[in-house]
Amino acid sequence: MGFAVVQAQLVRNPVIRADVPDVSTIRVGDTYYMSSTTMHMSPGLPLMKSKDLVNWEMAAYAYDRLIENDAMNLENGQDAYGQGSWASSLRFHKGKFYVSTFSATSGKTHVYTTSNIESGPWESVAFAPVLHDNSLFFDDDGRVYMVYGAGEIKLVELLPDASGIKPDGTERVIIENVNSVFGEDEVGGLPGEGSQLFKINGKYYLFNIASPKSKWARTVIVHRADSITGPYEGRVMLQYQQIAQGGLVDTPDGKWYAMLFGDRGAVGRIPYLVPVDWQEGWPVVGIEGRVPETLVIANDLTRSSGCVASDEFERRYGDPVLPMVWQWNHNPDTTNWKIINYPGRLRITTGRLDSTVMTARNMLTQRTVGPVSSASTCLLVKGMKEGDVAGLIAFQNKYGFVGVKVAGGEKSVVMVQSNTGKDGLQSTPPGSTLSTSYTVMEQIPMNQNKVYLKIQCDFETDIAYFYYSLDGDLWQTIGDPLQMVYTLPKHFMGYRYGLFTYATKESGGHVDFDYFRIDK
């Protein structure tokens, strides 16, 4: 449904109440597309689509697996928590979609291209070095560039197909220090990064996120120039409630917006749609320095959260094995999970021994949703072996889960919390991103092979509550509420709901998840 056939309605910010950070937004015809960051998740580099900038649904992922190495495969004591792929840049040029990203885990800058963003196929190239927070840019003269950096912003020319750096091409510093816009005494905060470059009416506009030294205040800074190489002049364009990083998008009827994200605690970094007014050649972001709580915009008031969905694990012929709302924690071990039809179930089998849920292969996850949401599942445990643990998790570095543990041949329902401190950074071995120690908060004997599990997350208070049921009707609380914490850089992601199992004594056991239901 496009703008021509819907009426203007009052809608409320944020437009998505889930972790969709580092957004890059474009319009192609009457359809909007937006890329985001999911770091160590697979598949990765999610792409969403919308007809009204308000209702978004999953459209694709740019890659299935970022790279095959020990970190992305959770092998040999390595992991990619807080790493994987970071901020992306989405562009449409001469009938093709391009999306670029970068990764310390691969040591490369990555560019993915396709003619059909929803059905693919995607072509992939990667090249060194790692260009931090790069913005891919196709200029009117046919030349291709990336703008990148933190604090100091650089311009580098690429090959015409964006497959690598052009030998002897333009390469120079275009802004010595983004944060100098704050003044000489305020340049020590978050260095200006998250570059997104646009060309509008012959002028170049560069959006960055930064923070002054004296206080943590995510800020939108815009520089403009008459030439891509500069000189650039800069201004602070928005400093309001930690909402920043993103860029411009226009509507078919000539209106302008900025799609940005705001830090919102344990739920993560969530997108806001911000009006833009042009004044004396500058894009003025917000209304009188504020992001409005409501906007009048053409939409159908559906307000779908298209990045989460319930799943009964029933598959008809032609259905995807997993809907796009699902992502694996790191690269999955494809030999040890499957969907079983009639009745539909997700089966996960253990393929090795692990001591913590943080290293478990084949944890299947979805985003949590604010302001309050819950997830539930029915767990079938007949196939578990001695030492196995399985369940439903509120997943972050400071995690909590409710599940089943097998010890001494007996099954118990358990509620477990990681032993991280209030800052989410304690109890982590030097050189590791993992919280490896945990506490069993409550353990209840169980004499059956089916149990129902539920977690409710309240993001007004950042507290998660844990429940179990033996019959699916009567729910009991278990353990202690979890004070959720958004940890940086240990995890760098909003909380997720996850389905998991791992073995501590003997591999080869399995569990079946009968369904996953999310309420919001």
Written in H, E and C, the secondary structure of 387-430 is: CCEEEEEEECCCCEEEEEEEECCEEEEEEEEECCCCCCCCCCCC
Residue 459 makes CB contacts below 8 A (sequence gap 6+) with: 17, 264, 265, 266, 267, 368, 370, 371, 372
- 113 and 255 belong to one structural domain: yes
Q: What is the predicted pLDDT for the residue at 385?
A: 98
Buried b vs exposed e over 448-486: b needs ≥16 C-beta within 10 Å? eebbbbbbbbbbeebebbbbbbbeeeeeeebbebbebbb
Say if 439 falls within a structural domain. yes
- Asked if 329 contacts 395 with a C-beta cutoff of 8 angstroms, the reply is yes
Query: What pLDDT score does 437 carry?
Result: 86
pLDDT tens, position by position, for the chain (520 residues)? Answer: 344 455 778 889 999 999 999 999 999 999 999 999 999 999 999 999 999 999 999 999 999 999 999 999 999 999 999 999 999 999 999 999 999 999 999 999 999 999 999 999 999 999 999 999 999 999 999 999 999 999 999 999 999 999 999 999 999 999 999 999 999 999 989 999 999 999 999 999 999 999 999 999 999 999 999 999 999 999 999 999 999 999 999 999 999 999 999 999 999 999 999 999 999 999 999 999 999 999 988 776 566 668 999 999 999 999 999 999 999 999 999 999 999 998 999 999 999 999 999 999 999 999 999 999 999 999 999 999 999 999 999 999 999 999 999 999 999 999 999 997 554 444 444 444 455 689 999 999 999 999 999 999 999 999 999 999 999 999 999 999 999 999 988 889 999 999 999 999 999 999 999 999 999 8
* Domain shared by 348 and 247, yes or no: no
Q: How many CB atoms lie under 10 A from the CB of residue 292? A: 15
Domain-ending residue, one of 257, 272, 306: 306
Q: Is the residue at 313 inside a domain? A: no
Do residues 154 and 271 share a domain?
yes
Check residue 306 and give its pLDDT: 85
Together in a domain, 301 and 345: no
Give the model's pLDDT for residue 134.
98
Do 263 and 337 belong to one domain?
Answer: no
Model pTM score: 0.95
Give SS3 for 27.
strand
4 contacts 44 by C-beta, under 8 angstroms: no
The CATH code of the domain that includes 208 is 2.115.10.20
| C-alpha atoms less than 13 angstroms from C-alpha of 448 in its C-beta half-sphere | 8
71: left (phi over 0), alpha (psi -120 to 50) or beta: alpha
| 381 three-class SS | coil
CA distance 327 to 322: 9
147-163 burial code (b ≥16 CB/10 A, e <16): bbbbbebbbbbbeeebb
Same domain? 46 vs 177: yes
* 341/293 same-domain check: no
Q: Which residues contact 16 (CB under 8 A, 6 or more apart)?
A: 56, 270, 271, 305, 307
What pLDDT was estimated at residue 421? 59
Query: What's the domain count of the chain?
Result: 2
Residues 53 and 201 in one domain: yes
Residue at a domain's end among 277, 306, 335: 306
Residue 293 lies in a domain: yes
Whether residue 21 is preceded by a cis peptide bond, meaning omega within 30 degrees of 0, is no
Residues 337 and 476 placed together within one structural domain of the fold: yes
On whether both 353 and 294 belong to a single domain, the answer is no
Domain hosting 485: range is: 327-519
Are 366 and 496 in the same domain?
A: yes
